[in-house]
Amino acid sequence: MKKRTFISLVSLSLITACSGKTPEFSNVSVHDPSVIKVDETYYVFGSHLASAKSKDLMSWTQLSSGVDDGNVLIPNVTEELSETFSWAQSDTLWAPDVIQLPDGKFYMYYDACRGDSPLSAMGIAVSDKIEGPYKNKGIILKSGMAGTGDDGEIYDATVKPNVVDPDVFFDKNGKLWMVYGSYSGGIFILELDSGTGFPLPGQGYGKKLLGGNHARIEGPYMLYSPETDYYYLFLSYGGLDANGGYNIRVARSKNPDGPFEDSEGKAMIDAQGTPGKLFDDPVYSPYGVKLMGSFEFVNTGEEPEASGAGYVSPGHNSAYYDAKSGQYYLIFHTRFPGRGEEHEVRVHQMFMNKQGWPVVAPHRYSGEIIGKYTAGEISGGYVFINHGKDITADIAESEPIELTVDGKITGAVTGTWKLAGDHTAELTIDGTVYNGVFLLEWNEAAGSQVMTFTAVSAEGVSLWGSHAAVVKK
């Protein structure tokens, strides 16, 4: 029988233990969402001059979409950015980033690209208000030219960056940086002037962090954790469309400009393609901790059908750390099984495991706060996802397992599990140890609270589990 999307069931004790009302979600489409919080409101800015806002990271309101002169962000965009469009031979804009600098103004780092080549331009537009209007201050970088590039050397797309996908951030010492790049020559970082927002002189394209030879790696985003004192560099591997195998990865460093390593200690500067070969995914897919790829929670054909229990090509994320609550959030766009290229913004909570690597909650954020759990609450049947390490268009389908109350894992995979402290998880499967957390959260497809686990191995493979009632033997 054809597998269907699975409604997870939970015990009555877990449902009654949760005081929360049913979460309310309002969805928006913002491709490549970059997050900024202003006062008590979260904003995301994305490709094609799209933007949205939310007070709670669950219910979103669309603010803008479409590169035309009616867009509230840059009302006269076709004239305002005419030089950018002319250089990039494009009529649209790609993934931007917005940051508030010490002068109190909001700086939008916009970019345009031809798409089938790295002919791109990146610039800055500034506004007194987060919702605009933004006024162009000029182009800061160009790429894809025939001849001399912005670093004074001959432009070679296999080693020089495609100047798109900026993320601008302050390090822990107050220095301003921009990490950027997509495919082509890799991911680069530049130091910026916090007074003007422009790059400090004499850097050219900046310092290379990873990539090259047209490796399918893009969408860099940097997050500093005061908890671990690491800079986490999030990346998207693969292609962004439904068949592209987009997936979210992370590496870390003690310094904002690297060097970055993955959980195996591999140097990310070595994550690059093969000279003379386009998109040689198997060469660089072993690098980086893979947090999430395409997946679907499925049943065995006996349980009732649900919807919305999986993602296709999730990627181009941003991330946010709330210093007051100590919570981490992963914000990204994703497509969905059976829905083609349609995409929406999703937010999941993240946690640092005991090795200091992020793990991502299996279900979208619904206001949950991690708590203290017992072995009895955790034990039971789960639908289980292994995200692997490959770059693939295949959707990882869940398999049934059981976590027995005496610490065993049975079913599709076998091993042991442990609960340490209030919620720390350790799973050993086929001799490999995975560290993470247990978390009670809302399963939107099921319409109920479920116990979950999320954990990652030293090899950079992430596992998810979501509580279910039935385990097929």
CA distances 315 to 24, 33, 70, 330, 356, Å, are 23, 9, 28, 10, 22
pLDDT at 403: 98
Q: Is the pTM of this model over 0.75?
A: yes
List, for residues 12-30, the tens digit of each pLDDT value: 334 333 445 899 999 999 9
List, for residues 240-276, the tens digit of each pLDDT value: 999 999 999 999 999 999 999 999 999 999 999 999 9
Output the DSSP codes for 271-330. ----TT-S--HHHHTTSSEEEE-SEE-B--SSSPB-S--EEEEEEEEEEEEETTTTEEEE
User: Which residue, 243, 348, 343, 244, is CA-closest to 31?
Assistant: 343
Question: Is the Cβ–Cβ distance between 236 and 288 less than 8 Å?
Answer: no
Torsion of CA 166, 310, 382, 396, to 10 degrees: -80
**Residue among 32, 80, 344, 368 flagged as catalytic:** 32
Mean pLDDT of the chain: 93
- Distance, CA of 313 to CA of 343 (rounded, Å): 10
**Range(s) of the chain covered by CATH 2.40.128.10:** 375-467
Q: Taking the CB of residue 304, how many other CB atoms lie within 10 A of it?
A: 11
Residue 32 annotated as catalytic: yes
User: Which residue, 351, 336, 369, is CA-closest to 442?
Assistant: 369
In 70-161 the beta strands, taken as DSSP E runs, fall at 97-100, 106-113, 120-127, 135-143
Q: Which amino acid is at 455?
A: A
pLDDT category at 308 given cuts 50, 70, 90 is low
- Distance, CA of 141 to CA of 147 (rounded, Å): 15
- Distance, CA of 143 to CA of 220 (rounded, Å): 17
Q: Which residues of 252-286 are buried (b: 16+ CB within 10 A; e: fewer)?
A: bbeebbbebbbbeebebbebbbeeeeebbbebbbb
**Residue among 167, 218, 262, 296 flagged as catalytic:** 218
- DSSP 8-state secondary structure symbol assigned to residue 48: G
Mean pLDDT of 309-321: 97
Structure-block tokens of residue 189: 């970082």
Q: Is the pLDDT of residue 303 over 60?
A: no
CATH fold of 375-467 reads Lipocalin (2.40.128)
**Range(s) of the chain covered by CATH 2.115.10.20:** 33-360
- Distance, CA of 385 to CA of 373 (rounded, Å): 22
Structure-block tokens of residue 42: 């979260």
Sign of CA pseudo-dihedral 197, 135, 109, 45: positive
CATH architecture of the domain covering 33-360: 5 Propeller (2.115)
pLDDT at 17: 38
Residue 218 annotated as catalytic: yes
Q: Is the pLDDT of residue 470 over 50?
A: no
